Chain A
Amino acid sequence: MKFKQTNRGIYQKWWTPYAFIFPAFLVVLFIIFIPLIFEFMIALFDIRLQNIRLLRDVGINIFSFPKIMKNQFLGFGNYAEILKDKLFYRTFLRTVIWTFTNVFFHVVIGVWLAILLNRKLPGKSVFRVLLILPWAMPQYIAAITWKGMFNYEFGAVNLILNKLGIEKINWLGDPTYTLMAAIITNIWLGVPFMMMVALGGLQSIPSDLYESADIDGASSWQKFKNITIPMLKPVMVPAIILGTVWTFNMLNIIYIMKDGLPGDDVNILITKMYRDGFDLYRYGYAAALSVIIFIILTLFSIAYLKANQNEE
């Protein structure tokens, strides 16, 4: 079928779509691409407090970088320094534990609550509002509140443990428990997101699937395993990737729980990077670390997507 030429106007030209994309592309160029290239560049140089003023001369013109900074060029020196340091691997391991535990509980609790909310439940809307509340609260406020609750002597958590006859725990003074406290806080914060995603997914599962399963005499576990999980997967896979990236790079909770000065015993990669960059002024080193984080997360996302595609 052919349209009449006169009706098509500008839509016909090959460059028309580009014209419409162009403004958005400009925004992406300036707020994503250029900073990203800048980051990769900084990572190759030894940029620290003493020579940081040079960055001013570079300004937005990243092509002048190699010329102005030629005495600071390190190649992959920053990367080598990071990868040679045992501290990096300890921090990485902690980050993996932090991310895995968080996302695991986000998904398990989130899906479980979503299934509950998807049933006929008296006062469902009230529960739904209550369960979403953590999401509506600014993370900063939530972290400060939880920090108060984890105080050894006066915090709600220890007071309750004490009432239950369990010995008080030094949540914020002992690195292992600090990590646990941060994980608990972040689970509380992250569950509503997964719950909402899962609830959306559940509501889009056609009910006739369950009806025919009922006719076949399937148990509720069988229905969950063979209908709910496979039907939820297309929704949950992107959410899990997103959740992993967010959690991996979650600075706020640990940063706030340790008053903005988390040490090597509690740092995850992102807080270490922040402290190296902004407290110790090691910009090149911090940039290299952030590139490593970027690569780790990219590899994870690709692998995870691949694994899920293969099953299908």
Chain B
Amino acid sequence: MKKFLTFLLCFTFLVSLFTGCSSTSQKSTQQQVTINIWEQMEENVDKTFDELVKKFEEQNPNIKIKRVHYKTEDLRNQFQTAVLSGQGPELIFGPNDNIGPMSLGNLIFPLDDLLGSEYFQKYDSQVLDTVKLDGKIWAVPLVNGNNISMLYNKKLVSRAPEKFSEIIELAKKYNDGKTFALVYFLNEPYWFVPFLGGFGGKVFDDKGNITLNTPEMIKALKFVQDLKFKYKAVPKDADYNVADTLFKEGKAAVLLNGAWSFTSYTQVNGLDFDVALFPKIDETGNYCLPYYGSKGFSVSANVKDEVVKDAIKRFFDYIAQKDVQVKLSKAFAQMPATKEALEDPEIKADKFIKMSMEQMRHGVAMPIRAEMRAVWDAIRPELENVMAGKKTPEVAAKDMQTKAEELAKSLTKQ
């Protein structure tokens, strides 16, 4: 008896180990479809998006949308891991620069065939450019912008500075270590490339070669270094949060920040500010050229089921509707992506979105090829070195070129 009991005990133990593994796929007759979306939307967008999703679900009772939030860097990593294990969401919503690596790794598939050229004719051609790679469309853009513009505190500076010399002038007034002429995310390459553009530099030449060790790069590095050490126009150390907080507290005259952040400043009591174009470089007389890009939905390579594809198509049709575009565009405070919505009077009346459109005319479409990752990673430490006064711009430019080429080679070699 005891023997039997012990055996039974062992057996139940073993069985309990495997119960979790059995998968009973229940295919209901209604073909209930769930579309999982992994996204990195800002908090204030969630609500609008959820409301619109609810409406979509009411119109399509057999489709459920499930939304999971991630931070930008986590989103790509988690998505990749999930796709490789055969899991993961059907849709991923994120910035267009994810497209390069994701398409290279075959984690997403091009949407030309799924949606047809007629569908994409609804979209603004310039916006579509941000999601094109090798002649194919890899995402349905939802909003466009992501450009960095200038925000200025009207209490500290009466008129929008047009050139950097005006900001340097401000630094003579605001230099007590408590109030600053200019704040921005100093060591982040995304905030640095506009300066490079202002001096006429580009990170890739027309053939796609990396061009970081250029006279323009050296000038741009020298310029941001001077802003810090020579003119003392910026704090000694400012990451995104510090810059953001200083401006919100009214301790910074000018802030350089992205279109995604504009609305958050309207919620700050007593902050009287306006937005304007990223200023001009005096030496060249050119405007600085911030990158612009879009955010949109890409479809996981694991989506094979026609029923799911059909549901995704219906969701994309819904997303392209004018009122959906307008509502989301306002929530994001970025341009909508369809031609129809761009012409909407409500959109045109929004000063932040108008600003984004204007900034796009004085901007560059961010390269989305996978090598861009190598460029970002090569610029970051060298920019840091320059901003710490540890390297001269000349040495830093040379080192970032070497590093970028090395990284790009390991990233794309076949």
Contacts and interface: CB of A to CB of B under 8 A. Distances in A.
Nearest to B187: A173
A170 B238 CA distance: 11
B411 interface: yes
B301 A53 contact: yes
Most chain B beta-carbon contacts within 10 A, residue among A22, A168, A261, A281:
A281
Interface in A218-276: 259-261, 263-265
Contacts of A19: 10
Contacts of B13: 23
B270 interface: no
B406 to A, nearest CB: 10
A10 B10 CA distance: 12
Given A23-B14, A53-B84, A281-B101, A263 B381 contact: yes
Interface in B93-107: 101, 104-107
Contacts of B235: 152-153
Contact of B6 (A10, A53, A56, A282): A10
B17 A26 contact: yes
5 contacts: A22-B10, A48-B413, A53-B106, A56-B85, A280-B373
Interface of B: 2-3, 6-7, 10, 13-14, 17, 73, 77, 80, 83-86, 101, 104-107, 177, 187, 235-239, 242, 301, 370, 373-374, 377, 380-381, 384-385, 387-388, 390, 403, 407, 410-414
A295 interface: no
Contacts, number: 100
Nearest to A11: B6
A56 B86 contact: yes
Contact of B73 (A48, A59, A260, A263): A260
Contacts of A152: 235-237
Contacts of B390: 174
Given A152-B237, A168-B236, A173-B237, A50 B84 contact: no
Interface residues of A, number: 37
Contacts of A26: 17
B3 A10 contact: yes
Nearest to A7: B2
A285 B101 CA distance: 17
Contacts of B387: 173
A26 to B, nearest CB: 6
Contacts of A281: 80, 101, 105, 411
A144 to B, nearest CB: 10
Contacts of B384: 173, 175, 263, 265
A91 B385 CA distance: 18
A191 to B, nearest CB: 28
A49 B370 contact: yes
A153 B177 contact: yes
The 7 closest A-B pairs by CB, nearest first: A152-B237, A263-B381, A49-B105, A173-B388, A9-B2, A152-B236, A10-B6
A170 B385 CA distance: 11
Contacts of A22: 10, 14
